[in-house]
């Protein structure tokens, strides 16, 4: 198994083209972002200075919030956001989806460091709906909505649902926080402005290294009282680094380069999902993507599927994924996030890959 896994990983690394993503996460990313930067520019110093302040102002304006703060990570930014809202209300309880990043990827930092209890809304197969919020019995300080809900392929509630949840929360004195790690990526589907979407939320987090493709880092935005308090917690967490500019300058550079390309990623994702869904024994979740991402489900055992993919990589030079996750004994899946690479792929090569996959899937099943 381990060997197989490594084989797929290695075969993927050898491919000339990859269908998803912006490309390799290598040092070139930093080199490209810094190429045109004046070496005389002074570092930010513990959250102050032109580099960090300018980018924070730019992001605040972009998100339509009073202020924005640059954080080394979303993990840090979001725990802090929830902590501030809990302290404000005096209730250490928040609600979010069972597959929320804080619940499954952060070693329980929220609970271990902030002693915040969590209420899990909806279930692992669907997004949070208005009904889930209204019928919640516990009193909470904050509701976190992740848009799109990554772990279920990047699904979204209707925009109307968002508006109703927002309005309900405001009435009930519940703060609404947006886990917008992939916020830019959902703008085309909702067909709203970023500012409109953010106006439904009291606090907003966005990642600078997913769709934007920076090196690392996050933005947390909200009212000035909120962001000022977040800076205190940032220091407590050990995130108030003397210099964050390697992340800020790269975030700014790739934001300018990619923030306008989200519509293309979205259209490409829909096209690619359709190609998968046209194959035998393959389906995507969601069937029609609502952002640049979706999950691919192969209705074949993981080991068999790995062999199929390795053969396709070696034959075509095109890589689909470096890993497969076993979902059942008879099925496996992986995540697609469309970036710059898909549009650069020769279409006839893409079609050839899908012809091969379809044939192979028919042989297997």
| End-to-end alpha carbon distance in the chain | 21
**CA angle in degrees (0–180, nearest 5) for 203-171-200:** 35
- As measured in angstroms, the least distance from the Cβ of 249 to a copy of itself is 8
Q: How many Cα neighbours within 13 Å face the side chain of 168?
A: 16
- As measured in angstroms, the least distance from the Cβ of 218 to a copy of itself is 9
E strand segments, 64-159: 67-71, 93-96, 117-120, 142-146
Q: Does 325 bind a copy of itself (CB under 8 A)?
A: no
- As measured in angstroms, the least distance from the Cβ of 157 to a copy of itself is 27
Tell me if 231 sits within 8 A of 154, measured CB to CB.
no
Which residues from 99-118 bind a copy of itself, rule CB under 8 A? 106-109, 112-114
Q: Which residues pair with 331 in a beta bridge?
A: 328
Residues 6+ apart with CB under 8 A from 255: 208, 212, 214
Binding-site size for a copy of itself (CB under 8 A) equals 51
Q: Which is nearer to a copy of itself, 165 or 251 (CB)?
A: 251
Q: Does 256 bind a copy of itself (CB under 8 A)?
A: no
- As measured in angstroms, the least distance from the Cβ of 36 to a copy of itself is 11
Residues 6+ apart with CB under 8 A from 263: 188
Q: Which is nearer to a copy of itself, 41 or 278 (CB)?
A: 41
Q: Does 73 bind a copy of itself (CB under 8 A)?
A: yes
Q: Which is nearer to a copy of itself, 221 or 241 (CB)?
A: 241
- As measured in angstroms, the least distance from the Cβ of 357 to a copy of itself is 27
Burial of residue 59 (CB within 10 Å: 0-12, 13-18, 19+) is buried
- As measured in angstroms, the least distance from the Cβ of 155 to a copy of itself is 23
Dist CA 303 CA 121 (whole Å)? 34
In the stretch 216-245, what mask flags binding to a copy of itself with x, by CB under 8 A?
Answer: x---------------xx-xxxxxxxxxxx
* Binding positions for a copy of itself, rule: CB under 8 A: 24-31, 34, 37-43, 45, 71-77, 79, 106-109, 112-114, 209, 215-216, 232-233, 235-247, 249
């Amino acid at each position: 198994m381990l060997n197989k896994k490594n084989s797929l990983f290695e075969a993927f690394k050898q491919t000339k083209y990859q269908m998803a993503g912006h490309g390799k996460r290598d040092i070139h990313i930093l080199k490209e972002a810094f190429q045109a930067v004046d070496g005389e520019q002074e570092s930010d110093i513990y959250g102050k200075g032109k580099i960090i302040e300018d980018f924070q102002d730019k992001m605040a304006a972009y998100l339509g919030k009073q202020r924005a703060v640059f954080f080394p990570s979303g993990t840090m930014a979001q725990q802090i956001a929830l902590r501030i809202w809990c302290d404000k209300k005096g209730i250490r309880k928040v609600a979010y989806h069972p597959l929320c990043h804080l619940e499954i990827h952060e070693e329980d930092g929220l609970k271990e460091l902030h002693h915040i209890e969590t209420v899990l809304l909806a279930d692992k197969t669907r997004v949070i709906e208005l009904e889930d919020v209204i019928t919640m019995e516990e009193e909470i300080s904050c509701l976190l909505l992740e848009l799109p809900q990554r772990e279920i392929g990047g699904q979204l509630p209707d925009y109307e649902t968002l508006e109703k949840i927002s309005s309900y929360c405001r009435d009930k004195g519940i703060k609404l926080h947006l886990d917008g790690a992939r916020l830019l990526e959902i703008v085309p589907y909702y067909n709203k402005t970023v500012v409109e979407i953010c106006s439904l939320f009291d606090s907003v987090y966005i990642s600078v290294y997913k769709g934007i493709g920076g090196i690392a880092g996050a933005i947390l935005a909200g009212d000035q009282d909120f962001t000022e308090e977040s800076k205190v917690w940032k220091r407590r967490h050990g995130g108030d680094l003397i210099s964050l500019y390697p992340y800020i300058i790269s975030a700014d550079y790739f934001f300018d380069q990619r923030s306008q390309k989200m519509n293309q990623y979205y259209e490409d994702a829909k096209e690619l999902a359709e190609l998968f869904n046209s194959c035998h024994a393959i389906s995507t979740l969601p069937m029609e993507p609502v952002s640049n991402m979706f999950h691919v489900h192969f209705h074949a055992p993981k080991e068999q599927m790995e062999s199929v993919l390795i053969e396709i990589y070696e034959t075509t030079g095109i890589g689909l994924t470096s890993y497969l996750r076993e979902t059942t004994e008879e099925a496996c899946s992986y995540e697609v996030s469309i970036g710059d690479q898909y549009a650069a792929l020769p279409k006839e090569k893409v079609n050839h890959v899908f012809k091969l996959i379809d044939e192979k899937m028919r042989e297997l099943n």
